[in-house]
Amino acid sequence: MVQQTIAGLSCLTPAQALAEAHRCLMCDDAPCTAACPASVDVMHFIRALRFGNPRRALEVIRRQNPLAGICGAVCPRERLCEGACLRRALSDPVRIGALQTYAAAYEMIHPRKAASAAGGPDAPRIAVIGAGPAGLGAADALSRCGARVVVFDARELPGGMLAYGVPEERMPHAFVRAEVATILNRAGVEFRANQALGAQISLDGLFAGGFRAVFLGVGLWKPATLRGVSNVSGVWHALSFLEQAARHARLGGPRPEVGARCLVIGGGSVAMDCAQTARAFGAGEVEVLCLENSDEMPATFEEVFEAWRAGVRFWNRRRVTAIRRAEDGTFLLESHAIRWREPGRLVPDNAEDVPGTGATHQADTVIVAIGQAPDRSLDRALAGVDRDSRGWIRVDPETQETSVTGVFAGGDCAAGCGRTVVASVAEGRRAGFEIARRLGLRPPEDPWGGFLRRGS
């Protein structure tokens, strides 16, 4: 299918978007909206596209999700909006994600002046720590309500994992930068780079400096370790690998060295990103080894299919039991086939090795992509903030407030939160509107309604 390319991302053409919009059944009580963590009004934004008004469509989407184009491209749509689409009973679901991205791309071609904040110099100041999806969602909600927002981030580029953890081939940084700018360039929003919690800033210091509330969206930047396998020098962790690849592409940093044979451990979206990035950086053979079967993998079908189409080979239902270095500098990995003790409980503790199924794999590059965990180096900076035994921040699910009054959290760092870009955005916005409500601020008139409803 011939498509147009906007800011490096392939998008639907106007004719394709119009044709796709006309496939929508215009359901009452649309199940696609109910399945969206941000409660995007899918039916009404598609209706705007039917009438040839992509600008209005984007307005409808951004009333619930300011990262419309990014979420349309990277969210697990088949498990969310498109998975709930009633059109599936007739044929393929409506390509809701592609229509969202088309609407966002249209604005990049036909930009307009950023909206001004409702507040002025005397408006309350709110600190947002972390410029990832959750932090950007909070900044969007607060600026809409007229607060002055300062977004702090430990890295140079805003966007969090969108800037440092998503490969250029999947989500071009030019597209990320353009959409993030619609929030950070808004009047009343300030971005401060290279400001890390626990180093340059602290919670006490922010409150002493006049900030009325703080939102924590620090994400998960510490890799989970491979249980039972000692650390081996030279093994990449997924986030380090993807971040160096992103710095090379976007900041001119050193290129990550990838050998001819690469083995990725893990079956999620990040593992698929690592596999495709390794291919892009010159690995001739890329293999993915994971506990899950092909229909059990956390990665979406689309992500797995794209990796397979790129030539990635899969070893399913296998567990790595040892990694060592050979005399020639390559890695030797021992693995065993596994079976689940309890069907359907897809966790490492439920896997047992199948006797007599041991195998040895040789690779020049090994990347461990089995998830992320909270950074315990922030323990001191978050002293007083209640967290669970693993380090995730406990929050009120209705307000996103932590155990400390005036401190809110959302996204991957919060217990039971995050997991997808759109869920993180929704949690940030929920916290932002709750902060605004407590400060007596209100969003501008909302002709579509539902600005402050649960899930918005």
pLDDT tens-digit series, residues 128-174:
999 999 999 999 999 999 999 999 999 999 999 999 999 888 889 99
Which pLDDT score is estimated for 82?
Answer: 95
Q: Which of 371, 386, 403 is the last residue of a domain?
A: 371
SS3 assignment, position 348: helix
Which pLDDT score is estimated for 118?
Answer: 54
Stretches where the chain sits below pLDDT 70 are 1-2, 113-119, 228, 230, 444-456
Which pLDDT score is estimated for 158?
Answer: 97
CATH number at residue 90: 1.10.1060.10
**Overall pTM > 0.85:** yes
Residues 333 and 393 in one domain: no
Q: Which of 355, 371, 387 is the last residue of a domain?
A: 371
Whole-angstrom distance, CA of residue 197 vs CA of residue 156: 14
Residues 263 and 312 in one domain: yes
In a domain, 451, yes or no: no
Whole-angstrom distance, CA of residue 72 vs CA of residue 57: 13
Residues 361 and 234 in one domain: yes
Residues 12 and 140 in one domain: no
How many structural domains does the chain have?
A: 3
Residues 434 and 309 in one domain: no
Q: Residue 435 phi/psi, 5° resolution?
A: -60, -45
Helix residue spans in 6-95 (DSSP H): 14-21, 31-35, 42-50, 54-62, 68-74, 81-84
Residues 241 and 330 in one domain: yes
Which pLDDT score is estimated for 449?
Answer: 43
Contact 143, 72 (CB under 8 A): no
Residues 18 and 41 in one domain: yes
Residues 246 and 363 in one domain: yes
Contact 368, 237 (CB under 8 A): yes
Whole-angstrom distance, CA of residue 227 vs CA of residue 68: 37
Which pLDDT score is estimated for 388?
Answer: 93
CATH number at residue 404: 3.50.50.60
In a domain, 445, yes or no: no
pLDDT tens-digit series, residues 291-332:
999 999 999 998 999 999 999 999 999 999 999 999 999 999
The domain in which residue 240 lies consists of 223-371
